[in-house]
């Protein structure tokens, strides 16, 4: 019967430690919940612990704010103009909220599938159709990722999914920004996978034909 009090004490201790963790919001929409960090305001450096007890440093210019365990917020972002659009603290807060929402909720298999198809296909298409060395094959998935990146995620889609933010241009802009980044990144990942599959399949076919 002594096990139960020990377990309850352990759960209580873990809960207290979790409550002591602070929340760090970055300008790219990412969130870090940790108690293992330090801020050097004079040098403008945030140092925080990552996996395997390694420490990472970033400039405070990439940090929006830090919210402590008592919900007190210290904002490091200063109002500025980015690409001809002025961002106040609240404007940037909404922008980051849109970014964070996209990080958490936007998922689409198309960019990865597109990358895999173009990557694998380029191994065969570049030599046979274009008459170029197979080493030029990576140019095809690279071009594909660039093309996908040029097609902006429509504002109307964001408004339809999040009607509560339909009149918030900063939330919408932040959401679309991350969606574009994720689509390009996933296309590149898919392209690398496709290239690998294409090379392996080409080698196997070559071996079978001998």
Residue 124 to residue 93: CA distance in whole angstroms: 48
CATH code for residues 3-77 = 2.30.30.100
**Residues near 197 by Cβ (< 8 Å), separated by ≥ 6?**
116, 119, 120
pLDDT computed for residue 12 by the predictor: 44
Lowest-pLDDT range, 19-23, 30-34, 128-132, 168-172? Answer: 128-132
Label residue 106 by pLDDT band (50, 70, 90): very high
More confident residue, 175 or 194: 175
Q: For 81-94, how does the pLDDT look when each residue is reduced to its tens digit (9 = 90+)?
A: 988 889 999 999 99
pLDDT at 166 > cutoff 50 = yes
Helices (H), 48-138: 89-105, 110-129
The domain limits of the chain are 3-77, 87-209
pLDDT at 103 > cutoff 50 = yes
Section 171-196 average pLDDT? 90
Q: Is the dihedral of CA 189, 176, 25, 109 positive or negative?
A: negative
pLDDT computed for residue 203 by the predictor: 74
Q: For 4-16, how does the pLDDT look when each residue is reduced to its tens digit (9 = 90+)?
A: 444 444 444 444 4
Residue 152 to residue 183: CA distance in whole angstroms: 10
Which candidate, 72, 70, 92, places its Cα nearest to that of 81?
A: 92
pLDDT computed for residue 87 by the predictor: 95
Residue 25 to residue 176: CA distance in whole angstroms: 18
pLDDT at 50 > cutoff 60 = yes
Section 76-104 average pLDDT? 95
pLDDT at 75 > cutoff 50 = yes
As a whole number, the mean pLDDT across the chain is 84
């Amino acid at each position: 019967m002594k096990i139960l009090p020990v377990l309850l004490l352990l759960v209580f201790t873990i809960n207290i430690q979790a409550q002591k963790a602070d929340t760090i919001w970055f300008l790219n929409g990412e969130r870090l919940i940790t108690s293992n960090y330090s801020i050097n305001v004079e040098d403008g450096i945030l140092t925080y612990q990552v996996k395997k007890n390694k420490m990472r440093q970033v400039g405070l210019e990439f940090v929006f704010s830090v919210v402590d365990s008592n919900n007190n917020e210290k904002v490091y972002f200063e109002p500025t103009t980015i690409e001809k659009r002025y961002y106040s603290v609240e404007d940037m807060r909404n922008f980051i909220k849109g970014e964070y929402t996209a990080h958490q909720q936007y998922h689409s298999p198309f960019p990865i599938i597109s990358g895999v198809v173009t990557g694998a296909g380029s191994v065969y298409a570049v030599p046979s159709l274009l008459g170029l060395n197979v080493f030029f094959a990576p140019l095809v998935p690279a071009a594909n990722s660039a093309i996908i990146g040029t097609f902006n995620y429509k504002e109307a889609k964001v408004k339809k999914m999040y009607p509560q933010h339909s009149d918030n241009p900063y939330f919408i802009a932040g959401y679309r920004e991350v969606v574009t980044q994720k689509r390009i990144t996933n296309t590149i990942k898919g392209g690398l996978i496709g290239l690998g599959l294409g090379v392996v399949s080409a080698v196997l076919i070559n071996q079978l034909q001998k």
